[in-house]
A = this chain, B = another copy of it.
Amino acid sequence: MLQKVLRQIDDNLEQSLTRLFALLRLKSISTDPAFKEDCVETADWLVRELQTLGFRGSRRMTDGNPMVVAHHHGPSKDCLHVLFYGHYDVQPVDPLELWHDDPFQPALKKLGEKQVIVGRGAADDKGQLMTFIEACRAFKAVNGELPVAVTILLEGEEESGSPSFIPFLESNSDELKADLALVCDTTMWNETTPSITMALRGLLSQEITIKAANRDLHSGLYGGAAANPITILSKILADLHDANGHVTVPHFYDGVEDTPKELLQSWHALNFRAEDFLAPIGLSVPYGENNYSLLELIWARPTAEVNGISGGHEGEGFKTVIPSTAHAKVSFRLVQGQDPNQIRDAFQAFVRARVPVDCSVSFKDYGAAPAFQLPYDLPFLKKAQVALSEEWAHETALVASGGSIPCVGDFQRILNMPSLLVGFSLDDDNIHAPNEKYDLKSFHKGQRSWARILLSLAN
């Protein structure tokens, strides 16, 4: 049966691409309320697709964007039951002027020797979630059945902190509980090496607003006498790291353990060269904490980053103003052992201690998720590893990832369900940036990989 399913996938690549393009044209930006209706439309599109495949699917309302939930029975009552997770929302597209084409007019383009799918969401996560749905389509076409029972859960708020996700999981735990979650939102080690992600950093996101005077001031009339909130904010942000790149928030590293030697050795065997990672983005030396290898820095060490800053006159020209307020968006990548709530409190105290008299600070919370570490003895792991190695004709790497995928921790905690993280995007896919792309090969072999994994898990 496997060969038939794989051939079905090969023969229908063009049609699957047409479907993906239709999905990519929908502007499901979840971080901007202006695109709320587009998110609903995208959920509806997915529900219709899944119903076409024989899933019982529906759009499920939340306080934010809707969830898509769909169920398909397996070959028998006691067969394996997997829950597939993906997200249909995408990142904003600014700065728009850096895109070579309209981010919501996807196209197949040549990039060197490769063909790539270009558009917002191509890799994160619409292209990835469609690899799984297209694999299910191939099973149905060949066999009329799926090899395992499948629940599909597609979220519409992953890029904006998933505010509805935990309440939804809690309210629908009986319906959503399965033996294993399959999550497709990660990268391959490189173009030829398939990967399973064993550890993920958590994420804590905060917006700070510093307020000084009650209105914008003329810097000639008040300069030298009035507090400048940009200067105050700059001093706070400058204080966030010491000269060695360590985060200075008190107790930030409490509970953080050294990476196990065996894991470090296996990472060393990947022959990862810092210069290869940095050269494509125009850099040559790693920043961040001294005395750690680059892989540790991005996989196993926590960070603090400023993701946005604004204040005063930002447009064309010059305005000699001392603004009333200044804003920064700061996020922390967290590792195993760090409690996001404790770090939020410590960070807010750190900022408050640096706000001078007459000025005030307010915080806006954009969500918090702990890090996740997958148990290395997971029984399903070996099967998936073998299936991936066969498809790609290359040994599967067991890696960590610097990005957070909060659902993984939520599945474990709320549904007591382990997750298997397999994804096919690449580091140069420009996710969260202009000109996002997904290799046609990722999309094609991703479908074939899921076909192999599902059959392998079923046996």
Contacts and interface: CB of A to CB of B under 8 A. Distances in A.
Interface of A: 30-33, 91-92, 94-95, 98, 159-161, 187, 201, 203, 205, 207, 212-228, 230-231, 233-235, 237-241, 274, 277-278, 281-289, 294, 297-298, 301-303, 305-323, 326-329, 331, 333, 356-358, 366-367, 401-404, 427, 430-434
Nearest to A366: B318
11 contacts: A32-B316, A92-B315, A216-B433, A216-B434, A238-B238, A238-B239, A282-B358, A308-B312, A308-B314, A310-B310, A321-B433
A302 B169 CA distance: 59
A100 to B, nearest CB: 12
A161 B319 CA distance: 10
Given A306-B312, A309-B314, A319-B92, A298 B216 contact: no
A432 B226 CA distance: 15
Tell me which of A224, A358, A402, A431 has the highest count of chain B C-beta atoms within 10 A of its own C-beta. A224
A274 B225 CA distance: 9
Given A216-B434, A220-B201, A312-B308, A358 B318 contact: no
A167 to B, nearest CB: 19
B433 A333 contact: no
A206 to B, nearest CB: 9
A182 to B, nearest CB: 20
A272 to B, nearest CB: 11
A238 B434 CA distance: 31
Contacts of A207: 318
A215 B281 contact: yes
Contacts of A307: 219, 230, 312-313, 318-323
A225 B294 CA distance: 6
- List the 4 closest pairs (A to B, CB-CB), nearest first: A220-B403, A31-B317, A214-B282, A308-B312
Contacts of A310: 309-311, 314
A240 B231 CA distance: 9
Contacts of A301: 224
A290 to B, nearest CB: 12
A409 B357 CA distance: 38
B432 A216 contact: yes
A319 B91 contact: yes
Tell me which of A226, A331, A431 has the highest count of chain B C-beta atoms within 10 A of its own C-beta. A226
Tell me which of A32, A277, A303 has the highest count of chain B C-beta atoms within 10 A of its own C-beta. A303
Given A402-B222, A402-B224, A318 B331 contact: yes
A80 B434 CA distance: 64
A175 B234 CA distance: 49
Nearest to A432: B218
Contacts of A313: 92, 94, 307-308, 329
A227 B203 CA distance: 19
Contact of A329 (B201, B222, B288, B318): B318
B225 A33 contact: no
Given A230-B307, A283-B358, A312-B329, 9 more contacts: A221-B431, A222-B298, A226-B283, A226-B286, A231-B305, A305-B320, A309-B309, A318-B366, A320-B432
